[in-house]
Amino acid sequence: MNSIIFLIDCPDRKGLVASISTFFYQRGFNILHCQQYTDVERNQYFMRLKLDMKSLKVSRKQLEEEFGLFGNEYQLRWSVHYSDYIQKVAILVTKAPHCLYDLLVRQQEGELPCEIPLIVSNRPALEHIADKFRIPFVCLPVTPEAKIKQEAELQTLLRQYRIDVLVMARYMQILSKEFVEEYSGRIINIHHAFLPAFQGASPYQQAYERGVKMIGATAHYATAELDDGPIIEQDVERVNHEQTIEELSRIGSDIERIVLARAVKAHLERRIIISGKRTIVFSTGV
């Protein structure tokens, strides 16, 4: 069943639910799902509205114009998404195969509403996986001197393939501030630690040395600050003194792929609103 999703946020005030729901009721829309949240501290209201696309009687352009006019009155910040538009996801990888495999299998099994037309890597190691799934694999090696050139090539590829979302599936390179800002809110990274613990390099070694009793992973939107973007999803697993760094890394890889898959799915299903350094992630629901 096709649907239209509105993501809305605005300063909270009386009558918002009534006004918004009446706007859509008057236009004959069937509301499939309505999720809300009020950040009391900042007096900010957030809504995710899922409408039956079959109820759409006018053009998409007209709907958007009418809602835009309506929204001005309430200072709404909003976006609209049509489920018949299939988002295009590019995956960036380096050497670790587990997240890449996981995303490809989930996409193939229909769990992720997207296409994956492009895999980019700074190394050739994972080409065989791309081949298995018959997806173009482009190797763009990164050298300190050619970093700007490599990013330009990456950008060209992303435009060429009309990529909507970038997933850094254990891509061991840092993207430039300019690049990240251009794709603001559309780059999802997986960090192999329970942020903000163990930022930066070798988090499993850090975890081992600190003797923690649980290890975790964090999926977040990439920002110019390394490992500091809005967190989408986290999870952990219990460990003990017996695990070596290698075992922590292996246990962690299972957490990483689950956490990354949940984050990518939430993003593709338009269930996330970014609010400063925090994310509102609406539950799956209908």
Per CB under 8 A, contacts with its own copies among 228-267 are 230-236, 238, 240-244, 247, 250, 254, 258
**DSSP string across 69-127:** HHHHHHT-EEEEEETTS-EEEEEEESS--HHHHHHHHHHHTT-SSEEEEEEEESSSTTH
Asked if 132 touches its own copies (CB under 8 A), the answer is yes
From CA 108, how far away is CA 115, in angstroms rounded?
Answer: 9
Asked if 144 touches its own copies (CB under 8 A), the answer is no
| Identity of the residue, 224 or 236, whose beta carbon is nearer to its own copies in the bound complex | 236
From CA 143, how far away is CA 280, in angstroms rounded?
Answer: 37
Asked if 30 touches its own copies (CB under 8 A), the answer is yes
The interface region with its own copies, picked from 13-21, 142-150, 164-172, 176-184 by CB under 8 A, is 13-21
Active site residue 9: no
**Least distance between its own copies and beta carbon 218 (Å):** 8
| Identity of the residue, 59 or 240, whose beta carbon is nearer to its own copies in the bound complex | 240
Q: 93 and 119 in contact (C-beta within 8 Å)?
A: yes
From CA 54, how far away is CA 28, in angstroms rounded?
Answer: 10
Structure tokens at 274: 């970014």
**Least distance between its own copies and beta carbon 202 (Å):** 14
Q: Which of 42, 57, 149, 278 binds its own copies (CB under 8 A)?
A: 278
Catalytic residue among 9, 102, 164, 227: 227
What's the half-sphere exposure (Cβ side, CA atoms, 13 Å) at 249? 12
| Identity of the residue, 27 or 147, whose beta carbon is nearer to its own copies in the bound complex | 27
**Least distance between its own copies and beta carbon 11 (Å):** 14
From CA 164, how far away is CA 268, in angstroms rounded?
Answer: 10
| DSSP E strands, 124-173 | 137-139, 165-168
From CA 257, how far away is CA 156, in angstroms rounded?
Answer: 28
Q: Which of 6, 14, 127, 182 binds its own copies (CB under 8 A)?
A: 14
Q: 118 and 163 in contact (C-beta within 8 Å)?
A: yes
Per CB under 8 A, contacts with its own copies among 186-215 are 194-198, 209-214
From CA 86, how far away is CA 104, in angstroms rounded?
Answer: 16
**Least distance between its own copies and beta carbon 12 (Å):** 9
Q: Please give the positions annotated as active site.
A: 227
Positions in the binding site for its own copies (CB under 8 A): 14-19, 21-22, 24-25, 28-41, 97-98, 101, 105, 109, 111, 132-133, 194-198, 209-214, 216, 230-236, 238, 240-244, 247, 250, 254, 258, 277-281, 283-286
